[in-house]
Amino acid sequence: MDRQITRREFLRGVAAGSGVALLAACGGGDTPAAQDTNTPVPADGATTAPAQVGGTGSTVNITYWGSFSDVLGEAERAMVESFNTSQQDVVVEYQYQGSYEDTAQKFTAALQAQAIPDVILLSDVWWFKFYLAQAIAPLDELAAQAGVDFSDYQPVLLNEGMRDGVHYWIPFARSTPLFYYNKEIWAEVGLPERAPQTWDEFGEWAPQLVQRNGDTMTRAAYVHPGAASYIAWLFQGVIWQFGGRYSTPEFEITLNEPDSIRAAQFFSDTVNEYRWAMHSTDINREFIGGQAASMMASTGALAGIERNAPFEVGVGFLPEERAFGCPTGGAGLAIPAGASAEKQQAAMAFIAFATSTDGTITWSQSTGYMPVRVSAVNDPKMQTFFEERPNFRTAVEQLPKTRAQDAARVFIPNGDQIIGRGLERIVINREDIERVWQDVTVELEEGAAPVLEDLEALRA
């Protein structure tokens, strides 16, 4: 992987760490075992020996719990390593903790056993739970000390992690849905080489894309995912496109409003009425295998799909109906509340590094996640990357048009699963929409009650 630490990045790291070094010099509480007078030299040899700020040479050791595996995991580990070699004040130990769900479950247990990490990666549906439990720290003061400029973060992403004007969750590995299509099939049936602008337009195209052998569909125009959480994320965009929403910000469930019903009816019709869509447990597989000509899927899958597809992959903004609608998703970084001020500052130094302009560029290019910094998008390095990967540029261009998800999916415990199972009943079992949405509403309201109580308690 291409990982270079520039002088600028390095200096910023030192600036971010200086406060920590001073504190460490005063407190001197945490003398780490890993303390080493020889600075580890990075493989690429890009780092110069950092100037000692505190002069005492004491380092703060912190742990970071991450949730990525395979290629993404390697990129995450590389990020931690390049932070460690960029400065001498903080040593981050990277610890892989399984999926987002595993990590959140372990964090729950760790809070009770008081064995918490110092930085943690939490997904869009989990961070709020820990905010309610007051388990994650407010970050504004720490960010100010570390010289983090919040105004340079993509507003839509940053504001999602904010409650009552206070930041708790810093965007890091953020993605959005994207419309993917198979250019080969598009050309075969003579469609223009672009994604459909509206669902109406796609409705006209779709029958041409379908192939049938007797009564069985051998190629679908579109594929829906089977996993509940995933379909509820993609449908979040669709319900907005139709003018509906899952809920108001005040947790009032609005699934049974006419436009929300219309959106669900459309999803069901694609499979049952128009019969040009299929559903699958692995939509990437169907798309790559040519079983489906198009799909909505995460931007996070773009690199893998381009690598594995035997055809040219096209992407575009999500289709519109009455309006454009596209949610954000993915994970961000938080700092557990229990740790000492010294460790929290060290944790913030790491977050500042990982979401710095250069950190963002490295991370985005190696993973396909959205660049969370505005300056990163405009950076020449990113622009060159866009030239090589025009599909990725499309994903980034869609970003300013996205918005944070409705409270019902992300803030109600298991809200994503509840909505997703409802959608499965509608699309797969062809159940009556109003009745299903009624059941889902009841379930969501039950789930929302304790959240509202907690919110009330927090305000008091």
Partner 1 sequence: MALTDDVVIAQPQTTTASWRRRSLLWQVAGYLAMAIVVLVIGMPVYWTVVASFKESREIYTIPPTWWPEAPTLANYVRAWNAAPFGRYYINSLITTIGSTAIKVVFAVFSAYALVFLRFPRKDLVFLFLLAALMVPREITIIPNYITVGSLGWINTYQGIVIPGAAVAYGTFLLRQYFRTLPREVLEAARVDGAGHLRILWSVVLPMSQPAVVTMTLLALVDKWNDFLWPLIITNTADMRVLPIGIFWLLDQEGVINWGVVMAGTLFVMLPMLLVFLWAQRYIVEGIASGAVKG
Q: Restricting to residues 32-71, which ones interact with partner 1 according to CB under 8 A?
A: 63, 67-71
Smallest distance from partner 1 to CB 345, Å: 22
Number of residues that bind partner 1 (CB under 8 A): 44
Interface segment toward partner 1; rule CB under 8 A; list 144-152, 236-244, 251-259, 286-294: 286-294
**Does position 106 bind partner 1 by CB under 8 A?**
yes
In whole angstroms, give the CA distance from residue 336 to residue 104.
Answer: 12
**Does position 211 bind partner 1 by CB under 8 A?**
no
Task: Say if CB 309 and CB 287 are below 8 A apart.
Answer: yes
Would you state the structure tokens that stand for residue 104, as one six-digit string? 């959140």
Task: Say if CB 317 and CB 326 are below 8 A apart.
Answer: yes
Q: Which is closer to partner 1, CB of 15 or CB of 71?
A: 71
Task: Single out the residue of 72, 79, 148, 220 in contact with partner 1 (rule: CB under 8 A).
Answer: 72
Smallest distance from partner 1 to CB 285, Å: 6
**Does position 175 bind partner 1 by CB under 8 A?**
yes
Task: Say if CB 319 and CB 202 are below 8 A apart.
Answer: yes
Place of tokens 């990020």: 79
Would you state the structure tokens that stand for residue 96, as one six-digit string? 């892989």
Question: Which of 60, 56, 70 shows the shortest CA–CA distance to 33?
Answer: 60
**Does position 100 bind partner 1 by CB under 8 A?**
yes
Would you state the structure tokens that stand for residue 87, as one six-digit string? 């400065």
Question: Which of 439, 314, 346 shows the shortest CA–CA distance to 58?
Answer: 346
Would you state the structure tokens that stand for residue 403, as one six-digit string? 């918005």
Count of positions (residues) in the chain:
460
In whole angstroms, give the CA distance from residue 156 to residue 379.
Answer: 20
Instruction: Detail the DSSP E strand segments found in 299-387.
Output: 313-316, 329-334
Task: Single out the residue of 34, 49, 113, 323 in contact with partner 1 (rule: CB under 8 A).
Answer: 113
Instruction: Detail the DSSP E strand segments found in 10-139.
Output: 60-66, 90-96, 119-123
DSSP 8-31: HHHHHHHHHHHHHHHHHHHH----
Task: Single out the residue of 4, 39, 61, 108 in contact with partner 1 (rule: CB under 8 A).
Answer: 108
Smallest distance from partner 1 to CB 12, Å: 28
Q: Which is closer to partner 1, CB of 304 or CB of 338?
A: 304
Smallest distance from partner 1 to CB 113, Å: 3
**Does position 183 bind partner 1 by CB under 8 A?**
no
Interface segment toward partner 1; rule CB under 8 A; list 109-117, 179-187, 204-212, 420-428: 109-117
Q: Which is closer to partner 1, CB of 71 or CB of 162?
A: 71
The contact mask relative to partner 1 for 296-315 (x = CB under 8 A, - = no) is --x-xx-xxx-xx-x-----
Report the interface residues with partner 1, using CB under 8 A. Answer: 63, 67-74, 93, 95-100, 102, 105-106, 108-110, 112-115, 175, 284-285, 288-291, 298, 300-301, 303-305, 307-308, 310, 330, 368
